[in-house]
Structure 1
Amino acid sequence: MPPPHTTNFRPRSVLAKSDSSQRSATLTTAADSEAGPSRTAASSQQRLANGEADTNIKVVIRCRRRSEREIQDNSPIIVTTNGARGDDITIETCAPSTSLGIVALPTTRTYPFDMVFGPEADQASIYHDVVHPMLEEVLMGYNCTLFAYGQTGTGKTHTMQGDLATTPMGNPSSQAGMIPRALFKLFQQLEASSTDFSVKISFVELYNEELRDLLASELPAPSGSSQPMGMGVHKDAPQQANLKLFDDASKKGVIIQGLEETPVRTAADALALLTKGSHRRQIAATKFNDHSSRSHSVFSITIHTSMPSSTGDGLLRVGKLNLVDLAGSENIGRSGAENKRAREAGMINQSLLTLGRVINALVDASPHVPYRESKLTRLLQDSLGGRTKTCIIATISPARSNMEETLSTLDYAIRAKSIRNRPEVNQQMTRNALIKDYVAEITRLHADLRAVREKSGIIISEESWAKMAAEQELKETERLEAVKQVEILEGQMKAVREEFEEAMALLSRTDEELRETKVRSEGTTTELVDTRSQLTAVEGALEEEIVVRQAHQKSEEALHGVVAEWKEVAQDYEGDVKGLFGKLERKAAAFGSNIRVVNKQGKTLSTETQVMSTKVDGFVKLATQHLHKVKTETEQFQSKELEALSIISSRIKEQLEKVQEALKLIH
């Protein structure tokens, strides 16, 4: 996408928050820039006497959520905002990088603005903070302009128009944009006041540098092209002369020749005109947006209100609100535009480039501002450096895939924030002055009439005839539109009447259902009281049951502990008994072996010592005594061990009986 301006300006990585009104550069107005630096000291003193001061253009940023395409492409979010509303925005200017296992954080750039709305902000909050103050200034007699700029598919048309449908109560829907909300609020305030008022609406489109009146009774197709999607224009519609731009020297702006201003009395009438014009706009599908606007549009609301004066003559105060929806800047290669769409995108980008050059010239205080290089900049001439209070809503995408477009939009917006306008209250006209103008017009018409009568029907001047023909055509157009408006109003009244009858029938049914519900509610209340008393009793029984169960649980836990301890003791005793039996078996085996050895040795000794019997009698006696002693000690040891074993067995038996009793208590 080409940048919105041709300079290489880029803000610093972190821009300090400062009031842009502190800039030293004071810019000239649009008309002064065209005419050159011929501003006089008298005009400056007159401005100061009127209490008018230069003000900076207000710039607001709106960041939408990621689109379905961006989510499917897994494009991460690189834009950070301070919640629903803040005053700065931070964007990552490159992707995170990894080197030797270390992740380097991406560099960021922070931009300060008057207001920054994040994805959490809704339409109502943006209207309340941005458009509502501008509407109050319009009612005070100022001209105000609000225009949306940004990449295609970032929500410009959604912000400006949104959902044009109304609620059953006739109010704007929650997704309504700035234009329908401003219309509804405007008529609420005017109808609540005691002053007389008139409101006129115009809706113009700039498509391929060609101006088209979207509210014309017969809208021609664009030159050399047909209306996309078959919307708004009949194929047999006659070609109408293109609208033309002319400089208005008295107002230092431009006027559009042939543009119709349609009077409206209610917000519904204005919304119908907005819907009609929106359906006639040039739209087409691109890779970024299925309903991409292929043209710029300007929806203007002109308000005349009367106010009392000290002399008794009423003063007429005029204010104008311009709501501009710019076509989206786009990269032709990325958007997939081909042939006609590519030419459209080229024209859109060309007009936006011119807008960028105008902004640069105003910021740099250039002696020449190139308003005339594009019809878009001529339309916005008074809004950029002129006498209008201007606010820009720049819409951006939060996804990395649109980083270049987002940076370009933010650079454009930060530059535009430095433009200074010189708002002026529109000239007020007294009732007598207005009557004087009407009297002069009537006098001129009488003169034409006398000329016709005196000269037997000779044709009046070409200028008067052309003016009369134009007025007649305008009146006929207004009559036809009034007839259509009456038909629309009758249809609306019929729909409202049917809606009212349905609402009354629904109200009657609702009252009957309410009475039945009250009867059922009384019965339910009685049942509820009984149920609560039963519930109280059940809760008491439940609490008692819980206490008993908790006591049983504690007893079971104590018994389990005792059983575990006795089980461990029994296991220890069982091991000791097994060891004693083994020891007895070993001693008995040793004793038997000793007896066998002694008997064997005794026989051997008896056979061998028969000769020596005398010598060994003493030895035999001694051996016999020793044997008797050993036997006695063995028997004593055996009896002691058996007695100890009997005691242990009785203890084990007692413990087992206790365990069995405990198990019985458990079961």
Structure 2
Amino acid sequence: MEINAPPDGARFVAGSKKLVGDFHDQFVSMILEAQSMVPPPIVANAGSTRSRREPSLDTSTFTVCLRMRPLLGNELTARGESFNCVIPGESKIDGSDRTDQVIVFTPKVGITGKPSLTEATFAFDYVFGPDHDGDHVYDAVVEAVVKRAEGGQVGVVFAFGQTGSGKSHTMNGLMDRLVMELFANSSEASTRRITFSYMEILGSNIRDCLAIMPDNDNGNTMPKVQIGELLDGRAVVKNLSEHRTSSAKELSALIGVAKSQRTTKATEKNDTSSRSHGVGIIRFGHVGFEAGEGPAEGVLYIIDLAGSERSDDSKGHNKSLMDETKEINLSIMSLKECIRARTIASGPGGASIHVPYRRSKLTLLMKDVFDLGCKRMCSTVVLAHVSPLAGDVKHTVNTMNYCAPLRVAVNDKTKSSERDDRDPATWDADRIRSWCEKTMGLDATESNMLLPRGTTGIELCRTTEVEIYRRLAGKHDKAKCVYQGLWTLICDAKTRKRRPDGSIITQEQEDAEIANARKLQEEKAKLWEDREKTLKSEF
């Protein structure tokens, strides 16, 4: 029997002579009817990026968001599978916890030729629909991360999703907005040292996108950019040029050069597909940092991931594009594995789970995001991007399947965990003051400077290093001692061994379990030895 080839953009359904695209109008009508039953989403509040772990403190906080692009150009009038099958769902707010839902409709044609929809709902911290612009995204979830990076912490914003889903559009817009925000307050300029770098990563190949700038005297002879680890566990980037900026104009010019140097090529899915991961790095040094007398510099990573591709997206690629696609998909697969492992490790009893962040240069650079024992607070915003088209629904569901679980794990992971009395985030005002004075050596006046108005342990844990130095002005050694001592306790609490039910395993219990396991092993070895002697005597 002869089977006619389906038209471009259509998807053949096994066992049916009809294709999804043949029922364009019916599917549009069905989805509109379903959408009319969904309550309107709640407007996002600005600056609400937060940790969900109460009363304890997670050393990495995640805000996981979804952004869906609108229909573009000829998609608005095209037929076939060019219709919207992704809609915002219900929004819920429970105290400080916000949940936005998104609904994905997968269109299908049955063996009888009847169209139907399969509905799946996913939960995120925020869902940004086609009506939300870049400023809305910045105000809702990015601004808080930028402020924390300015305060000496690590901030990460990364865009994830299919090629052509709008990642570069979002990240370029966020960087443009960032320029205005960083230099909006001129009084802060004298107390900060801001540098900007930008690189692109494709597999193990890393290119400095600002190496052509005039202040790089060596021109094209600069050493190869490398990402690695120091002996103390820190991830570092070597031979990447850093450019100090003192005005919005200077930073804007650097970002413009970085954008122009990104490697893009036309593919079946996207005329300007990013063929590498673009990484912008902004470092915030403060007064005293260069002399070693102040807090550590804060760092903000703006990461525009290359778009992942399905086989249908790359079927017309030449060998060069196919090789690039393999490198892109391998690194994104590594990122997915890190997200999956980090999700499991976040739960009780998961401290022993290995997160394979060394598997790619990209995930090694993002080590602080995945390392349970990172040395300072790391705030991460995940911006998952999806196309609303029915023809992309499989890729859309795949993106949500990887990103949504990270949000759920961070939200639910400590509901049944035993309270850790050695975790400073659980201490009241009297105990944290006692620790500062008796263990850290602060006198009463210094304690009052550091702990105003009855500061509790969780409040001090969330205080940035820069703020601790500011409160203990002129006492750099004590500020450094307090900050390092506090984060030693936090990391110890974070990596404390727990059972799957959330109960803490004490050192005595662990020693007893090890001794019992060794005893059982010795008894088993003795049993096999006796059996062996018996067998030999019988033969």
Calculate the TM-score normalised by the size of structure 2. 0.59
Asked if 1:179 is matched to 2:175, the reply is: yes
* Equivalent of residue 282 in structure 2, options 269, 277, 301: 301
Q: CA deviation at 1:432?
A: 8.7
Asked if 1:66 is matched to 2:61, the reply is: no
Q: Which amino acid aligns with 1:139?
A: E
Q: Which amino acid aligns with 1:402?
A: D
**1:383 matched to which residue of 2?**
369
Question: What is the percentage of aligned positions where both structures have the same residue?
Answer: 29
CA displacement, residues 358-398 of structure 1 (integer Å, 9 cap, x when unaligned): 11222222532212211111111112344411010011001
**1:397 matched to which residue of 2?**
387
- Are the aligned partners of 2:52 and 2:61 in contact in 1 as well (CA < 8 Å)? no
Measured in 2, the distance between the counterparts of 1:195 and 1:239 equals 34
Q: Which amino acid aligns with 2:254?
A: L
Measured in 2, the distance between the counterparts of 1:61 and 1:255 equals 30
* Equivalent of residue 303 in structure 2, options 324, 344, 367: 324
Q: CA deviation at 1:206?
A: 0.5
Structure 1 residues 20, 278: closer, same or farther in 2, change over 3 A? Answer: closer
* Equivalent of residue 171 in structure 2, options 144, 160, 168: 160
Asked if 1:211 is matched to 2:218, the reply is: no
* Equivalent of residue 263 in structure 1, options 228, 232, 244: 244
* Equivalent of residue 159 in structure 2, options 106, 127, 148: 148
Q: CA deviation at 1:21?
A: 7.8
Partner SS state of residue 235, structure 2: strand
Measured in 1, the distance between the counterparts of 2:474 and 2:201 equals 36
Q: State which structure, 1 or 2, has the greater radius of gyration over its C-alpha atoms.
A: 1
- Are the aligned partners of 2:67 and 2:384 in contact in 1 as well (CA < 8 Å)? yes
Q: CA deviation at 1:337?
A: 2.1
Asked if 1:90 is matched to 2:103, the reply is: yes
Q: CA deviation at 1:136?
A: 2.0
Measured in 2, the distance between the counterparts of 1:424 and 1:350 equals 38
- Are the aligned partners of 1:63 and 1:398 in contact in 2 as well (CA < 8 Å)? yes
**1:123 matched to which residue of 2?**
134
Moved more, 73-82 or 264-273: 73-82
Measured in 1, the distance between the counterparts of 2:50 and 2:119 equals 22
Partner SS state of residue 257, structure 2: helix
**2:485 matched to which residue of 1?**
none
Measured in 2, the distance between the counterparts of 1:156 and 1:264 equals 26
Instruction: Report matched runs for 1:476-555 at 5 Å.
Output: none
Structure 1 residues 73, 374: closer, same or farther in 2, change over 3 A? Answer: farther
Measured in 2, the distance between the counterparts of 1:431 and 1:261 equals 30
Q: Which amino acid aligns with 1:248?
A: L
Measured in 1, the distance between the counterparts of 2:258 and 2:52 equals 41
RMSD between aligned alpha carbons? Answer: 3.6
Q: CA deviation at 1:239?
A: 5.1
Structure 1 residues 264, 384: closer, same or farther in 2, change over 3 A? Answer: same
Partner SS state of residue 383, structure 1: helix
- Are the aligned partners of 1:315 and 1:431 in contact in 2 as well (CA < 8 Å)? no
Q: CA deviation at 1:55?
A: 5.3
- Are the aligned partners of 1:332 and 1:345 in contact in 2 as well (CA < 8 Å)? no
Q: CA deviation at 1:354?
A: 0.9
**2:119 matched to which residue of 1?**
108
Structure 1 residues 431, 255: closer, same or farther in 2, change over 3 A? Answer: farther
Measured in 2, the distance between the counterparts of 1:207 and 1:333 equals 21
Q: Which amino acid aligns with 2:369?
A: S
Q: Which amino acid aligns with 1:324?
A: I
Partner SS state of residue 370, structure 2: coil
* Equivalent of residue 369 in structure 1, options 339, 345, 355: 355
Partner SS state of residue 77, structure 1: coil
Structure 1 residues 418, 213: closer, same or farther in 2, change over 3 A? Answer: farther
Measured in 2, the distance between the counterparts of 1:245 and 1:86 equals 36
Measured in 2, the distance between the counterparts of 1:69 and 1:329 equals 23
**2:323 matched to which residue of 1?**
343
Partner SS state of residue 170, structure 2: helix
Partner SS state of residue 302, structure 2: strand
Partner SS state of residue 206, structure 1: strand
Measured in 1, the distance between the counterparts of 2:323 and 2:167 equals 21
Structure 1 residues 150, 159: closer, same or farther in 2, change over 3 A? Answer: same
Measured in 1, the distance between the counterparts of 2:294 and 2:61 equals 30
Q: CA deviation at 1:182?
A: 1.2
**1:416 matched to which residue of 2?**
406
Partner SS state of residue 66, structure 1: coil
**1:200 matched to which residue of 2?**
195
Q: CA deviation at 1:419?
A: 6.0
Asked if 1:248 is matched to 2:227, the reply is: no
**1:480 matched to which residue of 2?**
none
Q: Which amino acid aligns with 1:154?
A: S
**2:85 matched to which residue of 1?**
78
Structure 1 residues 423, 363: closer, same or farther in 2, change over 3 A? Answer: farther
Q: CA deviation at 1:105?
A: 4.5
**1:642 matched to which residue of 2?**
none
**1:225 matched to which residue of 2?**
none
CA displacement, residues 224-267 of structure 1 (integer Å, 9 cap, x when unaligned): xxxxxxxxxxxxx74543212221344x4310111121100011
Structure 1 residues 78, 306: closer, same or farther in 2, change over 3 A? Answer: same
**1:599 matched to which residue of 2?**
none
Asked if 1:357 is matched to 2:333, the reply is: no
Unaligned runs of 5+ in 2: 1-48, 92-97, 346-351, 412-460, 478-539
Q: How many residue pairs get matched? A: 352
Partner SS state of residue 369, structure 2: coil
- Are the aligned partners of 2:148 and 2:464 in contact in 1 as well (CA < 8 Å)? no
Instruction: Report matched runs for 1:481-630 at 5 Å.
Output: none
Measured in 2, the distance between the counterparts of 1:338 and 1:202 equals 32
Unaligned runs of 5+ in 1: 1-18, 25-47, 162-176, 220-236, 308-312, 435-667
Measured in 1, the distance between the counterparts of 2:115 and 2:271 equals 38
- Are the aligned partners of 1:61 and 1:115 in contact in 2 as well (CA < 8 Å)? yes
Partner SS state of residue 93, structure 1: strand
